[in-house]
A and B are shown apart, each in its own frame.
Chain A
Amino acid sequence: MKSSQALAIVLLSLLLTWAGQVVLGYFQVGKLEPVLNEETNLREPPTPSGLAQTGARVFASEGCLECHSLSVRGPSGSADLTRGWGERRSVSRDYLFRESALVGFSRIGPDLSNIGSRIKEPKDLMMHLYNPRNLNPASTCPPHPWLFEMKLAGSRNEADSLPLPRKDWKQMIPTYQAKALVAYLQSLNLNYSLPEAPLK
């Protein structure tokens, strides 16, 4: 075999690898459009807020994906729906407006695709981030106290301070990163129906 033939084979196989998957994939899922919900007159999936998009970056940088996936499977071959991780499976259209599409690597903790509808109170999510054992003493999730800062409190705590017992007139306030992360987690919500994945 000549070196030019070998070079041609290498370039052709790389072209087929990229074109075969990314270009064909683009024509299949890259041009998907949101669906209009006739009852609410809203487009679904909804566009996440700027704060939630920032939160997606915090989610990635804190390495949450090392333990939590963002893809509900089912109904056949997996127990995701029975576990209550979502009311339907995740599909390509759910990732339409995600600036950075993340799926995750492992499930040491539960899937978070639908966490926004499972935990509705932002304070509960904040408390979990600050110290997961506040809500579940058996949690194996690590705490993220660096997403919060301690501040002196006046006669009353600030509205967004964590509901923790006061120590020396101090209160625990979420940083911008914590607020963004919570906004992102709240935006993870699969409670809308899509033609290819209707709600149960």
Chain B
Amino acid sequence: MTFPLPSHSRASNAAVVMITSSAIWGLLAAGLQTLSTIQLLLPIFSYLAPLPVLNYGHLTPVVSFLLVYGWITSGLLGVLMILVPRFSGIPFRYGRLLTGGAILWQFGVLCGLTGILGEGGTGTPFLPFLRPVTCIFLVSFLVLGTGITRGLGGSWKSGPLLPRLYLLGALISFPLGLGTADLLLRGGTPGAVQIIVQLVWASILQHLWLTPLALVLVFQLIPAMTGRATSSLSLGVLAWVTTLGLGGWLSNTLETEGPLPSWLQSAGVVATLLLFVAVLGNGILIHPLLEGKMEEIKRNVALRFMSIGAWSYLATYGWLAFLALPGVRQTTVFTMTTNATQTLLIFLFLGSVLSGSVYALLPVSRNMGWPSHPALTWHFWFTSIGAGMMVSGYALAGIFQGLALNDPGVPMGTIASYLRPFLVLVLIGQFLWWAGQMAFTSLLFSSLLKLFTSTAPMAIFPSENPASTTR
């Protein structure tokens, strides 16, 4: 017997497009990343297969692009399409339009991927693609963002405020940031100013778009899963204002001396240290939500991922604050500590929050449950341990690299050999992460196709009875 489709489910297909594509892009990115690390570890590999598409210089921007736009952004937008109509109580109207927007986003990722692999990147951090791809992303975001934002204003006072605040900040920052950066970087801006624009865009993308999106899920789902409310709204609002005010300045710490005006570098250091205080404020809000919930964390894979994500959020900004310290910054600029930061942010913080949210929300949307399969456990352990190994490998490599670069007596060839043991650690971590993501992707597709006997979905939204609908 088929019941009418509830209006929440109108976004269901769009969400599935985004989440399944995200899983595939994540898998592809991790595979290519492993290939690029092998080249770094064994340079002879690039002599054996001298093809432009397999070249380290081509693969690295592709990996970064796929991780940010393909895996994380697609996935987070997908889970938000499930979450927002439910927490606002205001359903989507145009399901097909949203699905079109979701497909357009994936088309943008595909165009960006083929463009960078074929023609190479632009050299601009987080903007390695050409203007047509920017246009595709902006048009797609216009559809998806409008769909997600629709319920926000009308339901402002009907639920927890913090997720709404972070969502509002993120949804406005992304299109304004991407559009402005594209216009300025490809529009004849003087060279020295371009460097500033590149750093502002890198900051906006990471700290005003991706981080707030993940915080929406942290502050909405952890209280829902643990049955506890965040303790202090004023502290949360203060942390939100600080994140928005300072998040756009953080990447200035990536330069020391050089062409960036020194006051901007100092402002970047101050912003990073102050933002860490705000992040600690969020930590004070998150800690009581998870305290004493170890048994539940062990039992519930979604909560396990969310708690790893929440603590990685603190670790990411703590690590950034450490790197911003005078003395440390001079040593670690232009080293693999940047890779450590990216891995900590993308794989451990954003990736864990994304995985936890997919485990929690997808069943609600598709009237499905996750099977009691060992792949679920493999996903958690392989990705968490793998990401941990990558972060520690890159961090140690970066610190040794920085110390060696600052010693003029150490030749460049010797520095490369110093890095090898750490790169082996990174490579093992990447293999593990890839295996974990493979387990997740198999589980995702087999669950969507209902190949396994599954358990009932977790009750995230108690008012909704998922058993009453069929697709």
Contact = CB atoms under 8 A, between A and B. Distances in A.
The prevalent SS among residues of A at the interface is loop
B192 A96 contact: yes
A17 to B, nearest CB: 3
A3 B408 contact: no
Interface stretch (A24-32, A115-123, A152-160, A161-169): A24-32
Interface stretch (B168-176, B280-288, B461-469): B168-176
B122 A100 contact: yes
Contact of A29 (B40, B193, B339): B193
Nearest to A83: B408
Contacts of A82: 408
Given A17-B248, A60-B122, A105-B125, A92 B256 contact: no
Contacts of B196: 21-22, 25, 29
B263 to A, nearest CB: 8
A149 B214 CA distance: 49
A25 B261 contact: yes
Given A17-B249, A142-B46, A32 B334 contact: no
Interface size for chain A: under 10, 10 to 19, 20 to 34, or 35 or more residues? 35 or more
B95 interface: no
A109 B56 CA distance: 13
A193 B455 CA distance: 72
Interface string A59-103: 111111111010111100111001100000111111111111111
A31 B190 CA distance: 8
A132 to B, nearest CB: 9
Contact of B123 (A102, A107, A109): A102
Contacts of B18: none
B405 interface: yes
B192 A18 contact: no
Contacts of B200: 17-18, 21-22
A10 to B, nearest CB: 5
A108 interface: yes
Nearest to B155: A3
Interface in B18-71: 39-40, 43, 46-47, 50-52, 55-61
A22 B197 contact: yes
Contact of A9 (B180, B193, B244): B244
Contacts of A110: 412
A105 B334 contact: yes
Chain B interface residue number, banded: 35 or more
B172 to A, nearest CB: 5
Given A13-B248, A25-B193, A60 B121 contact: yes
A32 B120 CA distance: 31
A21 B120 contact: no
A40 interface: no
Contacts of B256: 73, 77-78
Contacts of A140: 40, 43, 413, 416
Contact of B184 (A22, A60, A62): A22
Contacts of A94: 259
Interface in B140-195: 152-153, 156, 161, 164-165, 168-169, 172-173, 176-177, 180, 184-185, 189-195
A98 to B, nearest CB: 4
Contacts of A99: 191
B408 to A, nearest CB: 4
Contacts of A73: 256-258, 330, 333
A67 B193 CA distance: 23
A67 B60 CA distance: 10
B197 A10 contact: no
B330 A64 contact: no
B197 A143 contact: no
Contacts of A145: 50
B60 A18 contact: no
A17 B91 CA distance: 34
B257 A10 contact: no
Interface in A11-65: 11, 13-14, 16-18, 20-22, 25-26, 28-32, 58-65
Given A22-B200, A101-B192, A3 B153 contact: yes
Among A22, A72, A144, find the residue whose CB has the most chain B CB atoms closer than 10 A.
Answer: A22
B46 A14 contact: no
A103 B195 contact: yes
A139 B245 CA distance: 45
Given A90-B258, A93-B192, A146-B51, 6 more contacts: A17-B203, A25-B196, A31-B190, A61-B122, A142-B39, A142-B43
21 contacts: A6-B168, A14-B248, A25-B192, A25-B193, A29-B259, A30-B190, A31-B190, A62-B58, A63-B59, A66-B56, A66-B57, A67-B56, A73-B258, A79-B408, A82-B408, A91-B258, A103-B258, A104-B334, A106-B334, A142-B47, A143-B50
Interface of B: 39-40, 43, 46-47, 50-52, 55-61, 119-125, 152-153, 156, 161, 164-165, 168-169, 172-173, 176-177, 180, 184-185, 189-200, 203-204, 208, 237, 241, 244-245, 247-249, 252, 255-261, 264, 267, 330, 333-336, 338-339, 401, 405-408, 412-413, 416, 419
